[in-house]
Amino acid sequence: MDTFTVRGPQEAYAARFRSGDRTGAAPVWQRLGEPADVIDDLLDLPAHGTPGAPAHPLLGPACDLDGPWLPGLP
């Protein structure tokens, strides 16, 4: 499942999660930046389940973005 959130003209967040993972699971891919750049990166991702598509949850510093507040997250 891909998500995209815009907080302002210069702040957007996108993430990909594995389908079927429980709520609160770590994303397998994420980006924070200007909306146009984040959309381009999201659209460049290979389709779920295809070669080169991100498949492993990000953990530790890779998942620690000082990103936007998202509903349901602290």
Amino acid at 74: P
36 CB contacts (<8 Å, ≥6 apart)? none
Copy the structure tokens of residue 14.
């996108």
Q: Is the pLDDT of residue 61 over 70?
A: no
Q: Where are the domains of the chain?
A: 2-63
- pLDDT reading at 5 higher than 90: yes
Q: What is the pTM of this model?
A: 0.74
Q: Which amino acid is at 73?
A: L
Token pair recorded at residue 54: 């991100």
Q: How high is the pLDDT of residue 68?
A: 46
10-35 mean pLDDT: 87
Average pLDDT in the chain = 82
74 pLDDT above the threshold of 50: no
